């Protein structure tokens, strides 16, 4: 399983720093990895809530958990650390949207982020269905990196008092084993065509061209990340880059102060406000008062489909 862990670390990640450090430490320890975590089955959770809604005399609020490592599909990382697949997440969202007795969705976020792959598409879809029913995200108690990407696409972000939110950025680690292999008497030879095939292989030193390419890919993903957050939140990419933590996670109060989150509240309070209709009424009022450029942005997002 160390091979699978190495594969995860060899791709661009939208992941909070302490979790990356944990992965690196585990990979370098050489210790066996036990599969003990539970994969977060969002689709199943949504189906149970939709079933409950059908027998309810009043509309109910659906809670969709986004927890652990985020990946495009069910993966090794979810089996080890727990996690959420984007496929299951979007299936769960659609189940809730198609049940008339579900009056709102709360994304309950406890995630350090995860893989960069598929996050933009999932976030764009969430943004495109805003306005059907109220959808909010709660940092409870971490909404980081890929998790923040998804949360930013909802109508509003709440942060629980002890939570951390942010980590907007992209990281990609390269580990070279050529010296360690040489000391162990191992020689690896890579035959390739064309020139850049298997660029960045861990058995050989990282070339300047490979470094430049990896950095460029990180920068492309970062521009996409910050640009999308800006569109979802009705601000500018430069504001996101300068004021939204610059790669750090922020406390609840700091996240609200810089505009990264909207309000500090406990998860129970958010659930109560959603169920009472207070959040829906507040969002409707906000839309009426929204500046023309923000309204235009939201209309563009509502036109996006998968």
Spatial separation of the C-alpha atoms in residues 11 and 115, rounded to whole Å: 8
Burial 11-27, CB ≥16 within 10 A → b, else e = ebbbbbbebbeebeebb
Domain encompassing residue 72:
2-173+205-302
103 has pLDDT over 60 = yes
In a domain, 118, yes or no: yes
In a domain, 184, yes or no: no
Q: What are the pLDDT digits (tens) for 229-264?
A: 999 999 999 999 999 999 999 999 999 999 999 999
Q: Which of 69, 102, 99 lies closest to 86 in space, CA to CA? A: 69
In a domain, 200, yes or no: no
User: How much is the average pLDDT of 76-101?
Assistant: 88
In this structure, are residues 117 and 86 in contact, taking their beta carbons and an 8 Å threshold?
no
In a domain, 199, yes or no: no
Say if residue 299 is exposed, middle or buried (CB neighbours under 10 Å; 0-12, 13-18, 19+): exposed
In a domain, 178, yes or no: no
Q: What are the pLDDT digits (tens) for 161-184?
A: 999 999 999 999 888 888 888 888
In a domain, 36, yes or no: yes
Tokens of 81: 């650390």
Dihedral pair phi/psi, residue 237, rounded to 5°: -65, -35
In a domain, 41, yes or no: yes
H or E segment and range at residue 117: none
Q: What is the pLDDT of residue 126?
A: 98
Number of domains comprising the chain: 1
In a domain, 183, yes or no: no
Spatial separation of the C-alpha atoms in residues 106 and 64, rounded to whole Å: 6
Q: Which residue has the higher pLDDT, 246 or 42?
A: 246
Is the torsion defined by CA of 96, 97, 102, 103 positive or negative?
positive
Q: What is the pLDDT of residue 19?
A: 82
Put simply, whether the predicted model's pTM sits higher than 0.85 gets the answer yes
Q: What is the pLDDT of residue 131?
A: 93
CATH number at residue 59: 3.90.226.10
Residues 6+ apart with CB under 8 A from 283: 134, 155, 156
């Amino acid at each position: 399983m160390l091979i699978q862990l190495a594969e995860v670390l060899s791709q661009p990640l939208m992941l909070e720093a302490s979790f990356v450090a944990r992965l690196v430490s585990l990979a370098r320890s050489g210790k066996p990895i036990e599969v003990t975590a539970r994969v977060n089955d969002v689709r199943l959770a949504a189906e149970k809530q939709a079933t409950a809604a059908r027998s309810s005399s009043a509309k109910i609020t659906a809670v969709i958990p986004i927890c652990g490592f985020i990946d495009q599909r069910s993966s090794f990382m979810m089996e080890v650390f727990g996690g959420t697949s984007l496929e299951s997440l979007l299936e769960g969202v659609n189940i809730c949207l198609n049940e008339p007795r579900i009056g709102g969705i709360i994304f309950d976020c406890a995630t350090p982020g995860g893989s960069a792959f598929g996050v933009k598409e999932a976030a764009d879809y969430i943004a495109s269905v805003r306005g059907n029913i109220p959808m909010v995200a709660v940092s409870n108690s971490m909404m980081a990196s890929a998790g923040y990407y998804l949360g930013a696409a909802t109508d509003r972000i709440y942060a629980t008092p002890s939570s951390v939110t942010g980590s907007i950025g992209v990281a990609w680690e390269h580990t070279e084993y050529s010296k360690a292999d040489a000391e162990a008497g191992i020689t690896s030879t890579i035959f390739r065509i064309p020139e850049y095939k298997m660029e960045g292989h861990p058995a050989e030193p990282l070339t300047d061209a490979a470094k430049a390419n990896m950095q460029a890919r990180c920068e492309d993903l970062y521009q996409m990340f910050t640009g999308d957050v800006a569109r979802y939140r009705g601000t500018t990419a430069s504001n996101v880059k300068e004021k939204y933590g610059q790669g750090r996670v922020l406390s609840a109060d700091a996240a609200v102060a810089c505009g990264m989150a909207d309000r500090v509240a406990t998860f129970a309070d958010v659930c109560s406000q959603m169920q009472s209709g207070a959040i829906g009424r507040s969002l409707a009022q906000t839309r009426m008062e929204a500046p023309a450029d923000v309204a235009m942005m939201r209309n563009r997002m509502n036109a996006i489909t998968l």
